[in-house]
């Protein structure tokens, strides 16, 4: 099958056949299509779009470009959660042990941060000794032993996606909803899961900026996931403001421990419980969301979730005692520029400030400083007081403080009336 014929079909608005899609994915995996041919079809898909059946075939072909992990001999329903990324979005570290403590098997392949959004792997590696690069056998053994494992993507999981994603990043085709859908779901299907909860972020600090775009992506993920045999549900959650009070890596892990220990309440806890409850429901262990939430909150109150997290860290080589002995950088307080109530906070600017301080990457090859970051002392709806900083900055780069402080001072607004906005915007079910 000639690449040019496949490209022409989509260029002219046609529907690609399964054979044409398989030729494209095979070409990306084995190099039988030139990069410029792959890029041409990616652009044609971005402009012309795909119907659901095309996206479902693309997802399946990308999954089958590598090896699917077989978890069928491990008892229990395997459920994962995926977020499209945001500032302070650390729910995976909370909900994975929460769901596992309720009997769900949680195989989680996560990513690293790039740009203003953080990555689960970087947060986990802030714990001394924590190994995210488990072999498949180690991954399976950890799941069998404690019911949860959190690792980096294996080299043979959906290899076509690595090639195509690298091209999308430099050809202006990242925004295509069919391509986003296939990229996310192909990696998730390769994990060996049978159910998935999607958290589609929406707002200034998210990839999808508007509710209509977020809804289109969530609906596509649910329809295509269902067509590929997944039990799947999606929520759309607000990401105009950072989630939680910590933005960085070690400080986000510390905040997660506070939640699991029952010391921290608020939106971070609420969203983690909501997502974990849906995981319990999709695993068939709860009748509905309310029953799932009761089980999740019981696991939190009893300490079972905290103990599950401790077992996870130990199983993957981490040392929580050493983590707790770390010496954080001295806080550089940022005084308020006016008094009143915080009425808005730009998540993207807060994320960019954390990057400048060393907590994130400008390029994929950049190193991350696990101790760098931002602590948010006054969030949306909080009263701004003269003697309380709005932010604390943590960094080993004194030369970066002025730039980060300028970003943070421009990131929030102060008004005379407290405001609160909903975190959960919509639920998308099959």
Domain limits for position 408: 332-415
String of DSSP letters for 1-66: --HHHHHHHHHTTPPPPHHHHHHHHHHHHHS-S-HHHHHHHHHHHHHH---HHHHHHHHHHHHTTS
| pLDDT value for 116 | 65
> Per-residue pLDDT tens for 252-309?
999 999 999 999 999 999 999 999 999 999 999 999 999 999 999 999 999 999 999 9
Give percent above pLDDT 90 in the chain. Answer: 89
Over 70: is that where the pLDDT of 113 sits?
no
Q: Is 82 a catalytic residue?
A: yes
| pLDDT value for 309 | 98
- Is 423 domain-assigned? no
- Is 125 domain-assigned? yes
The answer to whether residues 349 and 372 belong to one domain is: yes
How far apart are alpha carbons 284 and 3 in whole angstroms? 44
| pLDDT value for 110 | 86
Which of 297, 322, 347 is the last residue before a domain boundary?
322
Which of 322, 344, 375 is the last residue before a domain boundary?
322
- Is 67 domain-assigned? no
Over 70: is that where the pLDDT of 96 sits?
yes
Over 80: is that where the pLDDT of 117 sits?
no
At 233, list the tokens. 């549900």
Using 50, 70 and 90 to split pLDDT, how confident is the model at 115?
Answer: low
CATH number (domain holding residue 289): 3.40.1030.10
Which of 64, 89, 122, 161 is labelled catalytic?
Answer: 161
Which of 39, 152, 176, 183 is labelled catalytic?
Answer: 183
Helix axes 92-101, 250-260, angle to 10 degrees: 30
* CA torsion through residues 182, 202, 98, 234, sign: negative
The answer to whether residues 122 and 208 belong to one domain is: yes
| pLDDT value for 16 | 98
The answer to whether residues 383 and 308 belong to one domain is: no
Q: Is 319 a catalytic residue?
A: no
| pLDDT value for 419 | 85
CATH number (domain holding residue 355): 3.90.1170.30
How far apart are alpha carbons 18 and 55 in whole angstroms? 10
Q: Is 201 a catalytic residue?
A: no
Using 50, 70 and 90 to split pLDDT, how confident is the model at 112?
Answer: confident
The answer to whether residues 16 and 97 belong to one domain is: no
Calculate the alpha carbon distances from 79 to 10, 102, 268, 374 in Å.
Answer: 35, 12, 21, 32
Cα dihedral 130, 135, 139, 145, rounded to 10, equals -80
String of DSSP letters for 228-279: TT-EEEEEEEE-SS-SSSEEESHHHHHHHHHHHTT---SHHHHHHHHHHHHH
The answer to whether residues 311 and 340 belong to one domain is: no
Over 90: is that where the pLDDT of 355 sits?
yes
At 347, list the tokens. 């998540």
| pLDDT value for 114 | 63
Indicate the number of domains in the chain: 3
The answer to whether residues 101 and 233 belong to one domain is: yes
The answer to whether residues 206 and 287 belong to one domain is: yes
- Is 256 domain-assigned? yes
Which of 60, 78, 82, 349 is labelled catalytic?
Answer: 82
Which of 90, 140, 162, 168 is labelled catalytic?
Answer: 168
The answer to whether residues 316 and 339 belong to one domain is: no
| pLDDT value for 85 | 86
The answer to whether residues 159 and 296 belong to one domain is: yes
Over 80: is that where the pLDDT of 180 sits?
yes
**Would you say the pTM of this structure is higher than 0.85?**
yes
| pLDDT value for 213 | 95
| pLDDT value for 207 | 85
Using 50, 70 and 90 to split pLDDT, how confident is the model at 361?
Answer: confident
| pLDDT value for 156 | 87
Which of 284, 301, 322 is the last residue before a domain boundary?
322
The answer to whether residues 282 and 158 belong to one domain is: yes
At 135, list the tokens. 């072999």
> Per-residue pLDDT tens for 211-267?
999 999 999 999 999 999 999 999 999 999 999 999 999 999 999 999 999 999 999
Pairing of strands 231-238, 340-345: unpaired
The answer to whether residues 18 and 142 belong to one domain is: no
**316 touches 324 (CB < 8 A):** no
The answer to whether residues 91 and 27 belong to one domain is: no
Mean pLDDT of the chain: 95
Query: What's the average model confidence in pLDDT over 60-85?
Result: 94
- Is 247 domain-assigned? yes
> Per-residue pLDDT tens for 40-61?
999 999 999 999 999 999 999 9
How far apart are alpha carbons 227 and 239 in whole angstroms? 29
Query: What's the average model confidence in pLDDT over 386-413?
Result: 96
Query: What's the average model confidence in pLDDT over 92-110?
Result: 96
> Per-residue pLDDT tens for 323-343?
999 999 999 999 998 999 999
How far apart are alpha carbons 374 and 391 in whole angstroms? 7
């Amino acid at each position: 099958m000639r690449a040019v014929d496949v490209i022409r079909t989509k260029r002219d608005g046609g529907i690609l056949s399964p054979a044409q899609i398989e030729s494209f994915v095979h070409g990306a995996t084995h190099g039988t299509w030139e990069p410029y041919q792959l890029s041409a079809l990616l652009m044609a898909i971005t402009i012309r779009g795909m119907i659901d059946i095309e996206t479902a075939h693309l997802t399946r072909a990308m999954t089958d470009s590598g090896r699917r992990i077989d978890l069928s001999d491990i008892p229990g329903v395997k459920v994962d959660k995926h977020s499209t990324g945001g500032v302070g979005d650390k729910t995976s570290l909370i909900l994975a042990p929460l769901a596992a403590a309720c009997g769900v098997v949680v195989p989680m392949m996560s990513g690293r941060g790039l740009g203003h959004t953080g990555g689960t792997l970087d947060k986990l590696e802030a714990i001394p000794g924590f190994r995210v690069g488990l072999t498949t056998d180690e991954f399976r053994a950890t799941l069998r032993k404690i019911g949860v494992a959190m690792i980096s993507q294996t080299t043979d999981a959906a290899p076509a996606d690595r090639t195509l994603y690298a091209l999308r990043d430099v050809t202006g085709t990242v925004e295509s909803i069919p391509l986003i859908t296939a990229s996310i779901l192909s990696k998730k299907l390769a994990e060996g899961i049978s159910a998935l909860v999607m958290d589609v972020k929406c707002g200034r600090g998210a990839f999808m900026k508007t509710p209509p775009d977020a809804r289109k992506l969530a609906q596509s993920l649910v329809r295509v996931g269902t067509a590929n045999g997944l039990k799947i549900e999606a929520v759309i959650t607000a990401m105009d403001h950072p989630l939680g009070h910590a933005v960085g890596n070690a400080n986000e892990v510390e905040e997660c421990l506070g939640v699991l220990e029952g010391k921290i309440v608020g939106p971070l806890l609420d969203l983690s419980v909501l997502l974990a409850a849906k995981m319990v429901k999709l695993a068939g262990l709860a009748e509905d969301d309310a029953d799932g939430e009761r089980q999740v909150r019981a696991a939190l109150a009893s300490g079972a979730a905290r103990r599950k997290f401790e077992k996870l860290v130990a199983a993957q080589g981490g040392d929580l005692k050493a983590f707790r002995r770390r010496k954080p950088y001295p806080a550089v307080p940022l005084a308020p520029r006016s008094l009143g109530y915080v009425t808005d906070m730009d998540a993207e600017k807060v994320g960019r400030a954390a990057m400048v301080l060393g907590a994130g990457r400008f390029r994929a090859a950049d190193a991350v400083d696990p101790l760098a970051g931002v602590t948010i002392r006054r969030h949306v709806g909080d009263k701004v007081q003269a003697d309380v900083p709005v932010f604390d900055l943590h960094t080993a780069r004194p030369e970066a403080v002025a730039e980060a402080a300028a970003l943070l001072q421009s990131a929030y607004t102060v008004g005379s009336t407290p405001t609160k906005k909903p975190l959960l915007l919509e639920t998308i079910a099959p």
